[in-house]
Structure 1
């Protein structure tokens, strides 16, 4: 918290105009964009909610599944993020308003930001309060106020410039802390292969390390097939969230150039994979020390207090607090920016007016934190998929469709949001139980796409909308550089290498030990390829190798000076 105060004071003095406050002067390098991408997506939700989820029974699938969600960073940067940066808009909702020459579209997008990210900010604030109350002896209410004040005062003064600096520092802190913590835990369990073999034999949760985890009575999924469908839908939804959601895509508006956008997205993809494997694996492995932690959301806190030296435990807990505060500052800044810039039609918001709006927004979140009971994991899933259905279709079509109209964009956002929120609320209240293949995310996305297609048929694209979209497809002259392009191409190469190497690592350190523990190895003593754990590993190269090849081709065609692309020396 003291670090937040120091950086906020330093960054706030450097904020001279709205461009500094909203998008950090559009000069952020790769490291800062990677840091803010990862820190803004990781919060108490992964260290508490998702770690508790894998502890309860879903370690296996969360380790083995091929990263369907995180590839959204890559295709999002290539198909949306770079074009978003060309717009030089202050917010993503502002971009949609400019693209469709419609303040109504901007307002609709702004409302989803306020409601969706406001809800996410609520989740993060409550998660930070749970952690602080457990560590310090403060009451839950006192911890809420303490957490809220630390990120609100910082964000009010420093804006995006301070947010991306603290995000990067906090990203380094919680990544380093998690690495050291995981290394100690695994070593204490006699190595990773031994730990996985023991997990396969865990009597209290016999399927926790299998490819489908714990399913059946008492869970959300009756069969492994239902869990597979649910996981694929959730991962695809989160892939779209990583690609176009306002709290991820808006980071690209701060990038120094389009090469930074692409490099940052690919490196963030790897960083997220690493941290997820560490946290998900730890959440499951802690069962070997204590399979009866309740509530399960405190599993990482329990481990920090009981399984490692005091210093290492304190380092991890500091990392979790850092993740919570950095995410909270990001969400508050985005909600405040949207209220100030997107909701009221005016020539230009003022710096101090924006800060005042952000303070009022923060006060609303503070009051809501006392009213709503915390439910970190499921609220996080619900809020994330809202953006997949309300922003996904409109976001991508704003770049790639010549036929989508302003009215279609508006109603696509509205129906995507409404047809996700209402079914999810009905299910939450116990009034309906949707089948896994017809989740609220699927309902909302389907409604949005159908609405866009139907409404677009009833209208026409205006000349202003057409010319704006065409201008987006001109590569900025400063990004046509052989040296920059060669450096950027290392990202796709690493995607291909990952796709080839990761299956071998999973086979050696997870699949074979698991099959040994279950006595399911082939008669020859090798991998039994008839089991789901081995088959899922094959999906990794099928996903990442083509993605790397495609990314390499797009980068070469778009940014090499000899590629013959259309060039724009000016901004949109």
Structure 2
């Protein structure tokens, strides 16, 4: 076993050990679902960042950037906007409503039938997005161990069950934060090594530009996608992340709103800086090795070739950490969907905390078995599965959440029409445009855009032509009567100095991060503009 493999396995067993130790904090179902709202700024930042950076970031999109050039995703990889919306908009609205899951909110506003439909669609999207993490894990593990893809997938599933089933949300959030250390190293050390080894920014902006000017187009050298495609990807990732359950509900365990806001600032600052450096480094590697196959493994090649084996091992552990963190989150929320949002609600009796936790653990095992079977079939590429699964949340969940938060007249018939109609319209449009070639959309726009429009139109038309039940109107008015920050203000009642201190620290962090972002991105913009 080489040094990289040893370092990698050390970190994997470290994560398992931490998750196992944290199981002692699970005293009741509230601990299991939202860690009893004890999440600090460090922990919520870590889990937001870890959920944002996944196998799509380090493998699927990295491979597309390697083949096409950095602008293709430096321009349209806008999921960080969705993360901001998920934390500060969707998540805070759910917190104020006292919800532990997103389907909780659907039932409160629109009834149990909407909850069931929403949960089923959520499960399909979660399983789809979870698949890309499993496939990415199989690629990484196979490349460093030499063992078969199938065996690695099975081992990875076992690790995931240890995470979610034993420690619940405690294990996921704490290990997410620990994992951040490894993929920060992967980004801020290994990616710059690729830039330096290839000749710096000059190699990217001069050498590769002469080779193919399309490397610096928004459509990419290989894809050569029209501008509508870029706009569609912009919309897809921003809207998808805003409604992604594993992000929106990430803020539910936070102590208060100040923790949510500080965590959002830190995670977005770090994430956007990391993505920029990562994709510039990935693309610079084309100078060193233009024949990496499959391109999804470009960062693995960098970790194995460009840096010290110890650092390379940490870097590969970082890639795996990003995959593991996102997958463990998806597993736990898919388990919650089966247990809390379906089984508990359909049960004819009140379940004890012990029974609720047991049901959640069994549900995670069921999800694991299902995803294992599909992952072993190795369907299409990592990025495209992620985009397809993400689109389901953009077209079926986001319009419904916005209407639920802000429109009193939205009723269950409009919501059901929107969720089902939006999902079906996207699937049909995607198949006809991308797979069957039946027709093309104007300017090459992504099918997600017309599907979102259809979803919103159905919601509005059906809602205004139907009757909204009085009980759900009353629930809406109760929800609107509660201030988003009421919970936080109650925590600081009689502690004005502490409230002012937290307010000032949040404001100062926002100013500091804005200055750092201006300097960081300004430098790269100027450097690239002067050299191209």
- Fold shared per TM-score above 0.5: yes
CA contact (8 A) 1:69 1:242 kept: yes
Q: Does the alignment pair 1:145 with 2:154? A: yes
Tell me the equivalent position of 1:268.
267
1:213: Cα distance to partner?
Answer: 5.0
Tell me the equivalent position of 1:118.
127
Tell me the equivalent position of 2:4.
none
Matches within 5 A, 1:127-526: 127-193=136-202, 195-201=204-210, 203=211, 205-208=212-215, 210-215=216-221, 219=223, 221=225, 226=226, 228-344=227-343, 345-346=346-347, 347-348=350-351, 350-435=356-441, 437-473=444-480, 474-475=482-483, 476-480=485-489, 481-494=499-512, 496-497=514-515, 500-501=518-519, 504-513=522-531, 515=532
In the aligned structure 2, how far is the partner of 1:207 from the partner of 1:220?
Answer: 8
| Shift in alpha-carbon separation, 1:311–1:195, aligned structure 2, 3 A | farther
CA contact (8 A) 1:23 1:90 kept: yes
> Which of 117, 126, 136 is the aligned partner of 1:108?
117
In the aligned structure 2, how far is the partner of 1:324 from the partner of 1:503?
Answer: 27
TM-score with structure 1 setting the length: 0.83
1:277: Cα distance to partner?
Answer: 0.8
Matches within 5 A, 1:45-60: 45-60=56-71
| Shift in alpha-carbon separation, 1:18–1:459, aligned structure 2, 3 A | same
- CA deviation digits over 1:385-425, x for unaligned, max 9? 22111111111121112221122122212222221123223
| Shift in alpha-carbon separation, 1:73–1:489, aligned structure 2, 3 A | farther
CA contact (8 A) 1:54 1:283 kept: yes
Tell me the equivalent position of 1:9.
20
1:38: Cα distance to partner?
Answer: 1.8
> Which deviates the most, 131-140 or 371-380?
371-380
Matches within 5 A, 1:42-81: 42-63=53-74, 65=75, 68-81=78-91
In the aligned structure 2, how far is the partner of 1:482 from the partner of 1:288?
Answer: 53
> Which deviates the most, 321-330 or 420-429?
420-429
CA contact (8 A) 1:77 1:265 kept: yes
In the aligned structure 2, how far is the partner of 1:312 from the partner of 1:376?
Answer: 26
Tell me the equivalent position of 2:101.
91
In the aligned structure 1, how far is the partner of 2:456 from the partner of 2:424?
Answer: 13
1:494: Cα distance to partner?
Answer: 4.7
In the aligned structure 2, how far is the partner of 1:66 from the partner of 1:376?
Answer: 17
Tell me the equivalent position of 2:3.
none
Give the unaligned 5+ runs of structure 1: 516-572
Aligned length: 502
1:431: Cα distance to partner?
Answer: 4.6
CA RMSD of the aligned region, Å? 2.2
In the aligned structure 2, how far is the partner of 1:376 from the partner of 1:272?
Answer: 20
> Which deviates the most, 425-434 or 257-266?
425-434
> Which deviates the most, 120-129 or 235-244?
235-244
CA contact (8 A) 1:51 1:300 kept: yes
- CA deviation digits over 1:504-532, x for unaligned, max 9? 3233222211x2xxxxxxxxxxxxxxxxx
In the aligned structure 2, how far is the partner of 1:220 from the partner of 1:506?
Answer: 24
| Shift in alpha-carbon separation, 1:428–1:200, aligned structure 2, 3 A | closer
1:492: Cα distance to partner?
Answer: 4.2
TM-score with structure 2 setting the length: 0.89
In the aligned structure 2, how far is the partner of 1:392 from the partner of 1:478?
Answer: 25
Give the unaligned 5+ runs of structure 2: 1-11, 490-498
- CA deviation digits over 1:230-262, x for unaligned, max 9? 122212221122222211101021111122222
Q: Does the alignment pair 1:30 with 2:29? A: no
